[in-house]
Amino acid sequence: MADCIFCKIAAKEIPSTIVAESDAWVAFRDINPQAPTHILIIPRKHLERLADAAPEDRELLGELLLAAREVAQKEGLEKEGYRVVINNGPFAGQSVYHLHIHVLGGRPLGWPPG
């Protein structure tokens, strides 16, 4: 999508701190981190929301979760734990309409979320 900021990050048209990537996804540091480690994982395919995923995206969705695990391991979050979040739509606070997984760790995280 031409005007999507995360598509531009995936295409390396705008800068980001990429920590890992594959043919299907890119993981980079959140510009406004909410925890000592805050990484976003995006599919290269432009899907606006989780709600737009279809059965044909089954493999991609699995890859994104495995990417979250890989990134958490790489960042040394496995022992203490970490949180994986997908905000879907306005009530969840989604601000960028390109599907992304947040991986948050490095401090105790409260529950329930605000």
C-alpha closest to that of 101 among 4, 32, 28, 13:
28
Least separation in angstroms between CB 71 and ligand AMP: 14
Residue 29, φ and ψ in degrees, nearest 5: -75, 135
Least separation in angstroms between CB 30 and ligand AMP: 5
Q: Of 38 and 70, which CB lies nearer to ligand AMP in the complex structure?
A: 38
Least separation in angstroms between CB 17 and ligand AMP: 8
Which residues in this chain contact ligand AMP in the complex, by CB under 6 A? 5, 16, 30-32, 40, 87, 93-96
Active site (annotated) includes residue 100: yes
Q: Of 2 and 95, which CB lies nearer to ligand AMP in the complex structure?
A: 95
Token pair of 39 as six digits: 């990484």
Token pair of 95 as six digits: 């601000």
- CA angle, 65 then 71 then 4, to 5°: 70
Residues catalogued as catalytic: 100
